[in-house]
Amino acid sequence: MLIQKDSERLPVIGITHGDINGIGYEIILKTLCDSRILDSFTPIVYGQSKVFSYYKKNFNMEELSYTLIRDARQAQPGRINIINHTDSELKIEPGISTEIAGKASFDALKIAVDDLYKNNIDALVTAPVNKGNIQSDIFKFSSQKKYISSFCPEYTPLMLMVSNKLRVGSVTNHVSLKDVPNIISKELILSKVEVFNKTLQRDFSIDYPRIAIMGLNPHYGDGGLYGKEEIDMIIPAIKEARDKGMLVFGPYSADGFFGSAAWVKYDGILCMYHDQAMVPFKTLAVDGGVNFTAGLPVIRTAPDHGTGYDIANRNIANPDSFRHAIYLAIDVMKNRASKE
């Protein structure tokens, strides 16, 4: 869905409010308070107007106005649009995980994802949720990515962390470290490489992407001395990817690879597990990275941080990552459109 304004077609970006007791509303407000940003897209905040008003008063942004709508197709360009997931009063307790906050997180997400798959919005940017309090009889997922991906099970999602030209994915994510060796396989690695290659081409407009693959074990196994996953799974997956015409290299030892800045030579880096990807990424992405759910027919991005309970309602949260998430969503949308 694209809204017409002054002969320009603006993307409609859905924004979920996340955990109402975290920094979600703060980073949303700080991003949208500059009216010039509305020249780039039309925002729809899936949340609660009373909570929005509570936080804008706390942060001295009372001049920031919004339009309350009931349908995404009513969104007005040049305005902050809000869709309420409930008209009831919500108890706000900044910095505290509550059942009310968890339910509000999911209720807003559910409506937004429904609009996303109905093409009522062009992309979705999700504010952080608490993975504990959001759990319910309906939401039994380890992340928002898992929930969003569940609506198209025929696709293989890839959590991709993005900061300028640094793009880092992981074969496994929110699983126990002890389970990683049993989860990874040649087939799983190859499927993630294929998704990575396709998203770099389609979503980032890189015609011939170069992808580096990390090993699982220290010094990528040292010829089997520290483990044979490289020999049995990772190297065969790299060979098969090359046979399919992909520019895939490795395996590399993650410490030396990131420590020597070898990553700058590649368009994408595929790690084997969560911390192997996230630790170097968050060290290098000093200006606010973005979490992009690659491999899906829809576009979803998020900031690369959590709810920030410890700094909630203190007006010190940095909105850079959230702002970058919005702009990446717009860029991906435009890149996909150019390929059609």
What tokens were used for 311?
């700094």
Is the bond into 181 cis (omega within 30 degrees of 0)?
Answer: no
Q: 111, 85 in Cβ contact below 8 A?
A: yes
Helix and strand totals (H; E) in the chain: 11, 13
pLDDT at 5: 43
Q: Output the pLDDT for position 133.
A: 96
Quick one: tokens of 17? 């409010």
d(CA 248, CA 270): 10
Q: Which amino acid is at 204?
A: F
Q: What is the residue extent of each domain of the chain? A: 1-153+296-340, 156-295
**Per-residue pLDDT, 229:** 85
Q: What is the pTM of this model?
A: 0.93
Contact 313, 26 (CB under 8 A): yes
The CATH number assigned to the domain with range 156-295 reads 3.40.718.10
Burial class (CB in 10 A: 0-12, 13-18, 19+), 6: exposed
Backbone angles phi, psi at 212, to 5 degrees: -100, 140
33's tokens: 């308070």
Q: Is residue 331 classed as helix, strand or coil in its secondary structure?
A: helix
User: Architecture of domain 1-153+296-340 in CATH?
Assistant: 3-Layer(aba) Sandwich (3.40)
Amino acid identity, position 311 = I
Separation CA 140–CA 89 (nearest Å): 26
Residue 216 contacts residue 181 (beta carbons within 8 Å): yes
Phi/psi of residue 60, each to 5°? Answer: 55, 45
In the chain, the largest separation of any two C-alpha atoms, in whole Å, equals: 65
Q: How far apart are CA 267 and CA 45, in angstroms?
A: 33
Instruction: Give the tokens for residue 27.
Output: 């980073």
pLDDT of residue 340: 74
Distance spanning both ends of the chain, measured CA to CA: 16
Cβ neighbors of 80 (< 8 A, separation 6 or more) are 32, 38, 43, 45, 64, 65, 66, 67
Q: pLDDT truncated to tens, each residue of the chain (340 aa)? A: 544 444 467 999 999 999 999 999 999 999 999 889 999 999 999 999 999 999 999 999 989 999 999 999 999 999 999 999 999 999 999 999 999 999 999 999 999 999 999 999 999 999 999 999 999 999 999 899 999 999 999 999 999 999 999 999 999 988 899 999 999 999 999 999 999 999 999 999 999 999 999 999 888 767 777 778 889 999 999 999 999 999 999 999 999 999 998 999 999 999 999 999 999 999 998 778 999 999 999 999 999 999 999 999 999 999 999 999 999 999 999 999 997 7
pLDDT of res. 218: 83
